[in-house]
Structures are given as structure tokens and as C-alpha cells.
């Protein structure tokens, strides 16, 4: 029986993530000041008192995509481990700051770093996580990469995480905006989520080939996969199974998050419903009865199908981005499985 998309991605995770985690642990230094304890806590390595805990560091999708891209492009994925670890550190730097900006009190089933160590300390920890990421990427020299290739990798990562930060800024500004179009939303998501996934696939292919054109094609694939991932995430934020997502149905509505379904709703409702929506979203939080009414509006417009189709279109575009590279059929099948996973996952 052929493996499902989820099984294929799970197999990639088992193949790569043990070595990624070892590289991450080697990258975060010891410090008598206790500063790096915040990083270790956020990464799921220790509790608030410094004791070791069972690790829960998230899905590791960016390292997986980086190392898979390296292998699919014909390289030895072990050489790309510094890039994979750097990507995960950049991702976690963004999460440390996002938790503060969104005032989220839990992540991965436990208290967020800022609620344990304080806001100012968590901001400083996020800043440090980004610097550690930059240092980690430079270890590509140990894998024998040329200074020119390492410089190209550093430029790519820096440009993409700056774009990621810009996307976060746009996302927060959308919360106060009266009108956000689908195109504006997709542009924001391409930055906030797509940019770092683009970097992941670009860096993996660059390590494998030292060919900028091939790396750019893989990067374009990653950009579209990032869009597909985020649009599916938006669907789960409203209609996902709470047992899988850990969030109640309609949680993104309650928080007034301008996700793809909500942007579509504001653009598509009648004038009367739009006036009601404007009033409901003027409050600090959308209340329980209002959430139910918003869900009813979304159902009338068949918004769930629209959002899912948007995600699937982005995933299809992602696979098409590598058509000109002449990859072996098994490599293309792996990319297709990853794209399928991105639009069918339930958490």
C-alpha cells in the first residue's frame, strides 16, 4: 500500500530531526548568567527551574524542508545541518516575540516564556536566538562550503527573516484595518510564513548544487508551500478539531484575527451583514453568540471550501515551480507528498 502524505513527511522527520536537534543543542551555549535558560525553556529542553524535560520543539517543518531539498537536489543532507538548525532558531526567535505581541499565554502545552521570565527578558531572549541562528549558519564552513556560498546563504537567510518580520508587522496592522483584500492578505502571508520556508528550500538546494538558479527554483517552491501551509492553518483556526489543534472551534474569530476565511467573509457579505460585522469586530473580543453568527455566515458563503481550494492551488503552484529542473520522478513524488501534507494536515 502506498504511503500517505502524512506518513512520508513523518518518515522524513524520523530521518532528519534527531541530527537537527543535536545540532540545535550544540548551538545554544552555556551561560552562568542564566540568559540562555530562557532559550532552552522555549525550545522545550528544560522546565522553568532548569530541570530537564521531555522535548517538544514543534513540527520541525523548516529543517525537514531544508534537508529534503538538499537531498532531492542530489546533495548530502548532513552538510546542510547548520542551515537547518539556523532556520529553526530563526523560527523560534519569531515565536518568542509573537507570543508577546499576541499576548499568548501557552505554547506547546505549557506557559509561554514571557509569562514565566517576564516580557523584557523574553524579548532579549528572542534577540539572542536570532544571533545564535546567524552563528549557527556560519558552521557551513565545517562542511567544506566555500566562503562565497556561505555568504550567499547568509544573505538569503537575512533577507527572508527580515521579510518575515515585515509580514508580522502587516499581520498586526491588519487587526486594526477596516478593509483587507485577499491579495493583501496573501502578500502578508507570503512574507510572514512563505519567506522562511522559501529560505529553507533555497538553502538546502544551494548546499547541494552551489547553483543559484536551482536554489531559486526550490525557493519558489517553498514560497508557495508557505502560502499553502498558512491558508490551511487559517482553516484549522476556525474549523479544526479541538482535540487535534488544541484550540476551540472559532478561536481565530474570537481573537479577531484577519485570517483568510474572515477576509473572504468581509469581502463577500451583504451590506447589512457587513454593518453587523463591523460592530462585532469593534469590540476587544468577539463574544460567544457573535462567534456563532460569524460561523453561520461563513457556512452560507461556503467559505471553508473556498479557503481549502486556495490552499490547494498554492500547493499545486509549489510543485510546478520545480518543473524545469528535470528532477527524478521519485524526487517529484516526495515534493508532491509534502505539498499534499501541507493542505490536508489536521494540526
Q: What percent of the chain has pLDDT over 90?
A: 79
Write down the residue that cell numbers 481549502 correspond to: 308
- CATH number belonging to domain 5-227+322-344: 1.10.600.10
What whole-number distance in Å separates Cα of residue 108 and Cα of residue 76? 32
DSSP string, 302-324: THHHHHHHHHHHHHHHHHHTTGG
Out of 73-82, 196-205, 321-330, which region has the weakest mean confidence (pLDDT)? 321-330
What whole-number distance in Å separates Cα of residue 294 and Cα of residue 239? 12
Beta bridge partners of 46: 52
- Return the pLDDT at 2: 58
pLDDT tier at 56 (50, 70, 90 boundaries)? low
Question: Which residue ranges make up each domain of the chain?
Answer: 5-227+322-344
State pLDDT tens for residues 89-103.
999 999 999 999 988
Q: Among 79, 62, 61, which Cα is nearest to 70's? A: 79
- Return the pLDDT at 94: 96
250 vs 143, more confident: 143
What whole-number distance in Å separates Cα of residue 179 and Cα of residue 285? 18
What whole-number distance in Å separates Cα of residue 23 and Cα of residue 1? 35
Q: Contact at 8 Å (CB) between 315 and 228?
A: yes
The DSSP output letter for 2 is: P
Amino acid at each position: 500500500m502506498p504511503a500517505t502524505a502524512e506518513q512520508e513527511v513523518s518518515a522524513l522527520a524520523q530521518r532528519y530531526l534527531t541530527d537537527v536537534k543535536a545540532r540545535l543543542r550544540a548551538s545554544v551555549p552555556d551561560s552562568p548568567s542564566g540568559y540562555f535558560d530562557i532559550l532552552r525553556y522555549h525550545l522545550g529542553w528544560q522546565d522553568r527551574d532548569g530541570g530537564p524535560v521531555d522535548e517538544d520543539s514543534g513540527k520541525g517543518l523548516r529543517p525537514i524542508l531544508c534537508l529534503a531539498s538538499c537531498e532531492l537536489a542530489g546533495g548530502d543532507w548532513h552538510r546542510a545541518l547548520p542551515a537547518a538548525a539556523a532556520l529553526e532558531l530563526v523560527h523560534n526567535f519569531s515565536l518568542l516575540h509573537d507570543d508577546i505581541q499576541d499576548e499568548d499565554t501557552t505554547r506547546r502545552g505549557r506557559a509561554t516564556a514571557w509569562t514565566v521570565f517576564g516580557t523584557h527578558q523574553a524579548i532579549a531572549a528572542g534577540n539572542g536566538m536570532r544571533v545564535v541562528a546567524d552563528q549557527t549558519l556560519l558552521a557551513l564552513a565545517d562542511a567544506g562550503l566555500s566562503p562565497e556560498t556561505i555568504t550567499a546563504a547568509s544573505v538569503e537567510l537575512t533577507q527572508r527573516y527580515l521579510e518575515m518580520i515585515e509580514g508580522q508587522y502587516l499581520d498586526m496592522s491588519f487587526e486594526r484595518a477596516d478593509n483587507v483584500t485577499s491579495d493583501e492578505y496573501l502578500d502578508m502571508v507570503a512574507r510572514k510564513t512563505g519567506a522562511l520556508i522559501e529560505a529553507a528550500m533555497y538553502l538546502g538546494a544551494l548546499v547541494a548544487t552551489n547553483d543559484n538558479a536551482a536554489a531559486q527554483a526550490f525557493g519558489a517552491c517553498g514560497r508557495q508551500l508557505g502560502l499553502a501551509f498558512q491558508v490551511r492553518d487559517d482553516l484549522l483556526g476556525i474549523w479544526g478539531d479541538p482535540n487535534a489543534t488544541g484550540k476551540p472551534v472559532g478561536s481565530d474569530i474570537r481573537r479577531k484575527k484577519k485570517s483568510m476565511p474572515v477576509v473572504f467573509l468581509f469581502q463577500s457579505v451583504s451590506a447589512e451583514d457587513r454593518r453587523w460585522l463591523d460592530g462585532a469586530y469593534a469590540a476587544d473580543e468577539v463574544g460567544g453568540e457573535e462567534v456563532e453568527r460569524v460561523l453561520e455566515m461563513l457556512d452560507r458563503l461556503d467559505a471553508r471550501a473556498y479557503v481549502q481550494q486556495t490552499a490547494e492551488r498554492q500547493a499545486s503552484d509549489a510543485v510546478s515551480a520545480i518543473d524545469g529542473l528535470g528532477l527524478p520522478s521519485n524526487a517529484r513524488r516526495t515534493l508532491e507528498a509534502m505539498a499534499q501534507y501541507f493542505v490536508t494536515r489536521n494540526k
